[in-house]
Structure 1
Amino acid sequence: MSSEATNKPLYRDINADDEDPEIMEIESYCVNCEKNGITRLFLTRIPFFKDVVVSSFTCDNCGLHNTELQPANKIQEKGVKYVCTINNSKDLNRQVVQTNLATISIPKLEFESPPNKGVLTTVEGIIDRAVEGLSQDQPVRKIQHPEMAEQIGAFIEKLKELKEVKEPFQIILDDPSGNSFIENPYAPNKDKDMTIHHYVRTRAQDQQLGLLEQENIEAEPEEEEKKEEKKEEVKKEEIFDGKTEVASFRTNCPECNVPCDTNMKLVDIPHFKEVVIMATTCDSCGHKDNEVKGGSGIEPKGTRITLKITDQSDMSRDVLKSDTASMAIPELDFAAEMGTLGGKFTTLEGLLVDIKSQLSGSNPFFSGDSSDKQRAKKIETFCQEIEKIIAGERLGDHFVLDDPAGNSYLQNVYAPEPDPEMTVEHYERSYEQNEDMGLNDLKTENYETS
């Protein structure tokens, strides 16, 4: 196998100009005519989101056609909820990734679409699918249940009127798996018309996703004896010291799904706190990744760190960005929501390079049939300004790291003295921020164990 073939990524950026998209074809059973059709699988990456598998089934015998989308990533640690306001016809073109676990609702019409098959569509496509689904059995309803058919017909007209956008309306995408997505057309700037909530799943949602083990059946006496033996063996083993030793465990590579090693270590950051750093390296595809978790839980208050960049040496400052932190550069009108880039322990330069890399890659919204020259130019200009900050050509700009969990850190090069170019604010979290972290329902007073 050539080196060119081995270095080709498994999940390539979706691009309308790609002449060789590497679509896999599989002969499959048709549930309609019971003959064989063709299933086509396309593994691709959606910019600003993640990897997905797009599947399409076509039967030449009966004409049945079906498309579906499945996330290629694991179930996320938290669920996600997008609340998007549609103000004009342009907003109807927002790209939407809806997994088979996501619920879509339109509060204005008290409409809710339960989890169905996963699709890659637009806001207008969601409305069209709802209209198509409700219209499907209308001829039969008009005969058997004329009153119900009339009510559904009136509701269908209301759905169609939404596409005229005579007045703004909200659309809500709620996915407990965390793998759904609504496009931000203003990227890299913050979307003023959309809010994103990451929430802790309920036990019922975990059970729906298959994350909870089935209730344990009463163990046989022999199994109980084995458990006791294992407990004795654990007692005899040396206690693992997370501060001096590196723990290693097997996981699957998020890029090629081949088993690889993830190393984990507890690190004490001077003038801050202990954190858990996890690093993954895949020998098969070369993928490297690191993730940081707070080692001391959620702080009583949120932390907002603002650094004024006055010298190119500021790029070498250490940065600990937790997965609950948001980032902003006010002078560039840039704002990244909580969860962007995940948890990272790097330098300020490394963080800016990661932001630039995520924005400057191949993007279906800026090339080919879906090209938007104005937005493409905006992204290009933004990346050039990021390069200037890294090179020390834009002094005086501010970098803001806002973490409601209080687990992020930006190095103070004057420590233990105060840093004249950096301010650290501790603030009370809002109800919404506590809700996103699952703190509102957490009982800590008068707690009794059964």
Structure 2
Amino acid sequence: MAASGAVAPGTPAAPAAPPPSRAQAPAPEHLFRPLSAEDEEQQPTEIESLCMNCYRNGTTRLLLTKIPFFREIIVSSFSCEHCGWSNTEIHSAGRVQDQGVRYALTVRTQEDMNREVVKTDSATTRIPELDFEIPAFSQKGALTTVEGLISRAISGLEQDQPTRRANEEAVAERIDEFIIRLKELRRVASPFTLIIDDPSGNSFVENPRAPQKDDALAVTHYERTVQQQELLGLQAEAPEEKPEEEDLRNEVLQFHTNCPECNAPAQTNMKLVQIPHFKEVIIMATNCDSCGHRTNEVKSGGAVEPLGTRITFHITHPSDLTRDVLKSETCSVEIPELEFELGMAVLGGKFTTLEGLLKDIRDLVTKNPFTLGDSSSPGQREKLREFSQKLDEILEGKLTAHLVMDDPAGNSYLQNVYAPEDDPEMKVEHYKRTFDQNEELGLNDMKTEGYETDVAPQR
């Protein structure tokens, strides 16, 4: 909405808008409401602003909302009743994420074209089959669908075609041919791949099959390069120097931070913990006195293991749910009996019990408004209810199931109550990582030996 809120030089300022009503200005803790058609208080804020097309006053509407399994966004829409000009944009209301994200969607049916997409300014969109790319920062952010992205690209190419036909007829003909190919993709004449690569980590592509795994959608989180950091206006933080000869294992360290919910000053506690028969981990917990928000996170205190680890555990008794579990950020969780898979980086790192992990999975899945609201497809609500019921049966000990923890970094752990003997219900496998797994962990380009600087001979 670059033009909707601007004021031309010498133009009298528009009259001040009346203060928003209570529905338009909720309390700070409810500023970003979950996206829901049933929330009557979720009303957009309307602001009178200048139309840069006819230079008369139009209306800008701002909606602050949350997208399930994603984060807070600001949806803005401008319309002018005088000339009919309008535009819409989306802005991320959160911070730049710790990692970039890359979505690769294989579009095969018209249902795939209806998937909801959040594309930020910093995201690059590619269709390899057409060798087509929309560079980062060439378009404003948008909350749309896959079909909407392609339609937007078609409109952008058609916009200057009359001028090209008059000045560069050969170029205009090639663009016409390309537009025809894009329109064929919009009709899904043949399968194609849509790639959205966002170094800020704030883009999103919907998985309509949640909580089940989506075979058509591959999500990859990666570490940003120095060039991407500069593109986003970020500076690399200097590594903190570790105090010499200081034993931190018996200390709880505290440092100041801001609450991720209300941004008020808060305290984060950090402690090194040695897990028996495993390794050392770092437990971090943040409590906010202002809004009551609490969060905890676990980081591995050691290096990436030479081999990946896959732990398969058969839950046969309610007492199994009391076992300690360390799930690292690089660990995926699978429950084959429920056809459920939790990808890497989801839920973050956790040190809890098996019961706590299953409850976190239940809360993550059942609180998804996309599967409960007006946007849910027929039968999706019933699948979610059945999934939640089976998960409750596992928690109550009425149903046996297998839990598979797959960690390519080898930093996850499930307690063995028979240690140092083998657990008859637990199978621990160590495997060699693939090239793609090493690439995702950033190990392929990591050099730890033979890196002395070569001195060029003097002439």
Q: TM-score, normalised by structure 1?
A: 0.89
Unaligned runs of 5+ in 2: 1-21, 455-459
Find the counterpart in structure 2 of residue 228 from structure 1: none
Q: Does 1:146 align with 2:169?
A: yes
Find the counterpart in structure 1 of residue 119 from structure 2: 98
Change (3 A) 1:250 1:28: farther
Letter in 1 for 2:394: I
Equivalent of 1:377, from 365, 370, 382?
Answer: 382
Change (3 A) 1:34 1:47: same
By relative contact order (CA 8 Å, sep 6+), the higher-ranking structure is: 1
Find the counterpart in structure 2 of residue 298 from structure 1: 304
Percentage of pairs with the same residue: 55
Change (3 A) 1:317 1:29: farther
Looking at structure 1, the residues matched to 307 and 368 of structure 2 have their Cα atoms a distance apart, in angstroms, of 39
Change (3 A) 1:290 1:387: same
1:378-393 equivalences under 5 Å are: 378-393=383-398
Find the counterpart in structure 1 of residue 93 from structure 2: 72
Q: Does 1:181 align with 2:204?
A: yes
Unaligned runs of 5+ in 1: 216-233
Equivalent of 1:320, from 293, 316, 326?
Answer: 326
Letter in 2 for 1:309: I
Find the counterpart in structure 1 of residue 262 from structure 2: 256
Shift, 1:74, TM fit: 2.2
Q: Is the CA contact 1:366–1:372 (under 8 Å) kept in the aligned structure 2?
A: no
Q: TM-score, normalised by structure 2?
A: 0.87
Find the counterpart in structure 2 of residue 218 from structure 1: none
Taking only aligned residues, the RMSD between alpha carbons, in angstroms, comes to 2.4
Looking at structure 2, the residues matched to 365 and 345 of structure 1 have their Cα atoms a distance apart, in angstroms, of 29
Letter in 2 for 1:151: R
1:157-196 equivalences under 5 Å are: 157-196=180-219
Find the counterpart in structure 2 of residue 129 from structure 1: 152
Local SS of the residue matching 1:256: coil
Shift, 1:329, TM fit: 0.2
Looking at structure 2, the residues matched to 258 and 34 of structure 1 have their Cα atoms a distance apart, in angstroms, of 41
Find the counterpart in structure 1 of residue 18 from structure 2: none
Change (3 A) 1:21 1:59: same
Local SS of the residue matching 2:370: coil
Q: Is the CA contact 2:105–2:218 (under 8 Å) kept in the aligned structure 1?
A: yes
1:406-417 equivalences under 5 Å are: 406-417=410-421
Shift, 1:268, TM fit: 1.2
Find the counterpart in structure 1 of residue 343 from structure 2: 337
Find the counterpart in structure 2 of residue 444 from structure 1: 448
Per-residue deviation, residues 238-280 of structure 1 (Å, max 9, x unmatched) = 9764312222222222222223222222111111111111111
Find the counterpart in structure 2 of residue 202 from structure 1: 225
Per-residue deviation, residues 88-145 of structure 1 (Å, max 9, x unmatched) = 1111111111111111100111101112221111111111111111111111111121
Count of residue correspondences: 426
Local SS of the residue matching 1:364: helix
Q: Does 1:433 align with 2:454?
A: no
Q: Is the CA contact 1:15–1:362 (under 8 Å) kept in the aligned structure 2?
A: no
Find the counterpart in structure 1 of residue 14 from structure 2: none
Shift, 1:327, TM fit: 0.6
Letter in 1 for 2:377: D
Find the counterpart in structure 2 of residue 39 from structure 1: 60
Q: Does 1:15 align with 2:36?
A: yes
Structure number with the higher helix fraction is 1
